[in-house]
Copies of this chain bind each other. A is one copy, B any other.
């Protein structure tokens, strides 16, 4: 065991919000059977995860990989003390989630006009009409709601997203009653100063999480900046799965293992067992038929 090397001004504990089973798998072309997904989630809990986003109630037409959400939730081996949020796009999705007794959901908003149109078929403004009844009914049922905000740093059509625009979208979601915002760098373009600027502009650091993609290799440096700005919840995906699986070297979400290597090196507690995470990613890479993009998984699964 290496001794940790703490860095001034960082938190003592970080919550790793694991998105592998949902955000990671949703773009995989090979269908993963529900029982394998259930085993995946069990292995993640065995490795110490306390928050595992399990699946999504998006219409199967859009995300065929997660069409088995009902079956998966039926099979889920729920552990005490572990949260299993599910993504819910609309009231129809909420009905399905409530039928399964889900305790926590996440809604998915856009920080830009173009992505709101493409992903939600709404305008930047009218997306809130969709979220409002979902959040209200969820809270009424005692269900906690997280809000993802995508394209917080830029989108492919509009370029950099104005910080004030992200803050405006995010504040409205908090105002609806969401307990946390996950600020997403969906296309991976952010750099650390942009992260700091956005977080400081919110002035609500305790309700922010960050969600970085590693498209340009910036995810971990941006995470460091977010921790320095006071954020203590970081989204990550087992083995770095996610993103576009059709590219030869798919670069998706920040890999949980690379994040944990940094956090543990800094002496920050996560409750996670790195060896078990690497074993899970190696197992999953075998099933998906391609190596994990995580550098840590590549390094530790050799030999």
Contact = CB atoms under 8 A, between A and B. Distances in A.
Nearest to A197: B5
A217 B296 contact: yes
B191 A261 contact: yes
A262 B218 contact: yes
A33 to B, nearest CB: 27
B298 A249 contact: yes
A295 interface: yes
A193 B266 contact: yes
A196 B255 CA distance: 24
Interface in A111-148: none
Nearest to A198: B5
Interface string A287-303: 00001001110110010
Interface stretch (A12-20, A42-50, A221-229): A221-229
Contacts of A218: 220, 258, 261-262, 265
A214 B255 CA distance: 14
Given A7-B196, A193-B267, A261 B217 contact: yes
A190 interface: yes
Interface in A165-210: 188-194, 196-197
Contact of A299 (B4, B194, B251): B251
24 contacts: A2-B189, A5-B193, A5-B194, A5-B196, A7-B192, A8-B196, A10-B193, A191-B265, A192-B224, A193-B266, A214-B295, A215-B295, A216-B258, A216-B299, A217-B296, A218-B258, A220-B221, A221-B221, A221-B223, A221-B262, A247-B298, A249-B291, A251-B295, A251-B298
